[in-house]
A and B are shown apart, each in its own frame.
Chain A
Amino acid sequence: MEMGKYSVSMKTLYVVVIVVLFGAITIGALFMVGDSEVSRLGAVYLERSQEISNISNAVFSVYGMYRFYDTLFELLIFSTAVLGITIFSDLEPSIDSGSRKPVESHVVSASASFLYPIIAVFGIYLAFSAHLGPGGGFAGGVIGGTGILLLALAKGAEETARNFREDSMKQLEYLVLFLALSVAILGALYPIKVYRDALGTGVITLVNISIAMKVFIGTWAILHFFVKHRGEV
């Protein structure tokens, strides 16, 4: 019982510390929000992004140029998560779902084969036009992954995995990561030259497409792992 009492009192201490800490943060935030100098953190990025004429989307100029290291390590964290899931996917026994369809509905299967090309084209469009308008590599990749989820719902996950050739996709994923890494090094050394003068829009599109492919493949790998170990979508 001594042990139990001790842990309960420690827990109370933790709770008190957390509540006091977050109370202080709340009061700090209340002061911060009213201050227009502090709340407009990215005004300098907005000004600087006007220098580069072929990027209209200021959000892309932040995550694709000025803070590309953020994006790069975010991609690395994401691929580490996908790598961990892939390794455990081979170690753990999976439940065989056979060729059973998760949803026995003609409406779903008919509309999936009709809708999937539209969703895929929309995702690719968002990835290609990220520097011009709303969208971006992440949004495009997630939209493609959601489209695959629709296909898996209609046709079964195993058949979808067979159609998408998962093994070659995994190799493509690391190729894409390498591509983003090399562009990041180039862009960090010569930002204006790489993004505006010499290669311009080609490099920007390459970065966005590689981000979109990475997110798309990663989303599908994670989805397929959980489907395999649950037996159905």
Chain B
Amino acid sequence: MSTGLLASAISVVIVCIGVLGLILKRNLLMKLLSLNIVNTATILFFVLIVYNPGDRAPIDPTPGVQYADPLPQALVLTSIVINFGVLALSLLFTMVLVKRYHTLDLIKIEDFVRREFEEEKS
């Protein structure tokens, strides 16, 4: 089993941990942290599936020399920026929710919202 093989299996396991945290944790900040873990593991996976010892950096490519794959590097760039934007916006919404309901517990927030909705209806 090569290093890349083992390491990509590890990265998939880390994605699994993050998704389980997204489902099982009730705290909103913990959910965001789990989302970040998923993103980091995705980046790890992209880095590892193209890891090949002896490849040169893909700068000024000439035929006949083995270069690293440029595509995952460009995709990782996208992933990092989007994760930054998503994290900032969801932290903002968490701040708004906490200011309104004074709790980070998602089930309590859902209860509050449901009660408000029913009061509005009646």
Contacts and interface: CB of A to CB of B under 8 A. Distances in A.
Interface stretch (A69-77, A117-125, A164-172, A186-194): A69-77
A42 B72 contact: yes
B58 to A, nearest CB: 4
Interface string B48-71: 111000000111111100010111
A222 B58 contact: no
B56 to A, nearest CB: 11
Interface in A26-61: 26, 29-30, 32-34, 39-43, 45-46, 49-50, 56-59, 61
B69 to A, nearest CB: 5
A41 B12 contact: no
B81 A49 contact: no
A18 interface: yes
Interface stretch (A84-92, A151-159, A175-183, A201-209): A84-92
B12 A18 contact: no
A67 interface: yes
A57 to B, nearest CB: 5
B78 A134 contact: no
B8 A78 contact: no
Interface string B92-115: 100110010000000000000000
B15 interface: yes
A82 B24 contact: no
Given A41-B50, A85-B92, A92-B96, 8 more contacts: A11-B23, A22-B15, A29-B12, A29-B49, A46-B69, A56-B60, A74-B82, A81-B89
Interface of A: 11, 14-15, 18-19, 22, 25-26, 29-30, 32-34, 39-43, 45-46, 49-50, 56-59, 61-63, 67, 70-71, 74, 77-78, 80-82, 84-85, 88, 92, 132-134, 136, 138, 215, 218, 222, 225-226, 229
Interface of B: 2, 4-5, 8-9, 12-13, 15-16, 19-20, 23-24, 45, 48-50, 57-63, 67, 69-75, 77-78, 80-82, 84-86, 88-89, 91-92, 95-96, 99
The 4 closest A-B pairs by CB, nearest first: A42-B71, A81-B85, A58-B58, A63-B74
